[in-house]
Chains A and B, each alone.
Chain A
Amino acid sequence: EDQVTQSPEALRLQEGESSSLNCSYTVSGLRGLFWYRQDPGKGPEFLFTLYSAGEEKEKERLKATLTKKESFLHITAPKPEDSATYLCAVQLGNTDKLIFGTGTRLQVFP
């Protein structure tokens, strides 16, 4: 069965304290891996798409990387406004649907 697992479930950081979120996947025929940010009561907001092992994407304080079995979302010197739930989703080669993980709830304190 295709599975996406995110860890940790929750992460509390001090402002400026860098860290990484993990998304591990067990799927057949990965076509793409997506990172989204979700604020409470809102829809997922697109951040990155990664397609192949070794690929990296960056946006402001966020950097996403991909290996054959997992992806990391690195947050450098986070600010309180980075507080949100970060969702990982995979798309398989024969389908358009996204399979989501349960997310990592990030809280950044000043």
Chain B
Amino acid sequence: EPEVTQTPSHQVTQMGQEVILRCVPISNHLYFYWYRQILGQKVEFLVSFYNNEISEKSEIFDDQFSVERPDGSNFTLKIRSTKLEDSAMYFCASKREGDTQYFGPGTRLTVL
């Protein structure tokens, strides 16, 4: 059964550094998403991406964040200058048509 994959599983970085989180969505999916979950809190929507452009973003997704689909298979989330409060699990999700989003296993980002 096809799955969303994410790398790395755990990323440790220093405050102020740039990080790129990578996702490979399910191959025939067209819509891509990033969510995050701070420890002990709700899963929160960050951004949705379709047809090579952002279709919606949350207040969290400020100028420090960007997304890209650099080739036909990868979908990335970049944080330009990490802050302590960016420490969280970051989940990528994808869907084809319809409403069901399928989530990856997540990347745990720790900012020191």
Give the B-binding residues of A (Cβ under 8 A): 31-32, 34, 36, 41-46, 49, 87, 89, 91, 95-103
Q: Given A42-B105, A42-B106, A43-B104, answer yes or no on A96-B56 (Cβ-Cβ < 8 Å).
A: yes
Q: In the bound complex, what is the Cα–Cα distance between A79 and B6 (angstroms)?
A: 30
Contact B91 A44 (CB under 8 A): yes
Contact B100 A49 (CB under 8 A): yes
Q: In the bound complex, what is the Cα–Cα distance between A9 and B91 (angstroms)?
A: 22
Contact A43 B103 (CB under 8 A): yes
Q: Which residues of A have CB within 8 Å of B44? A: 100
Chain B at the A interface: SS class = strand
Interface size on B, residues (CB 8 A): 25
| 15 sampled A-B residue pairs with Cβ under 8 A | A32-B99, A34-B100, A41-B89, A43-B104, A43-B106, A44-B91, A49-B100, A87-B43, A96-B56, A97-B33, A97-B45, A97-B48, A98-B43, A98-B45, A100-B44
Chain A at the B interface: SS class = strand
Q: In the bound complex, what is the Cα–Cα distance between A36 and B35 (angstroms)?
A: 14
Contact A102 B41 (CB under 8 A): yes
Question: Which interface residue of B43, B45, B55, B103 has the most chain A CB atoms within 10 A?
Answer: B43
Q: In the bound complex, what is the Cα–Cα distance between A23 and B44 (angstroms)?
A: 17
Contact B103 A101 (CB under 8 A): no
Contact A36 B103 (CB under 8 A): yes
Contact A99 B45 (CB under 8 A): yes
Contact A97 B102 (CB under 8 A): no
Contact B55 A96 (CB under 8 A): yes
A28 CB to closest chain B CB (Å) equals: 17
Q: In the bound complex, what is the Cα–Cα distance between A95 and B47 (angstroms)?
A: 11
Contact A97 B106 (CB under 8 A): no
Q: Given A42-B105, A43-B91, A44-B43, answer yes or no on A97-B56 (Cβ-Cβ < 8 Å).
A: yes
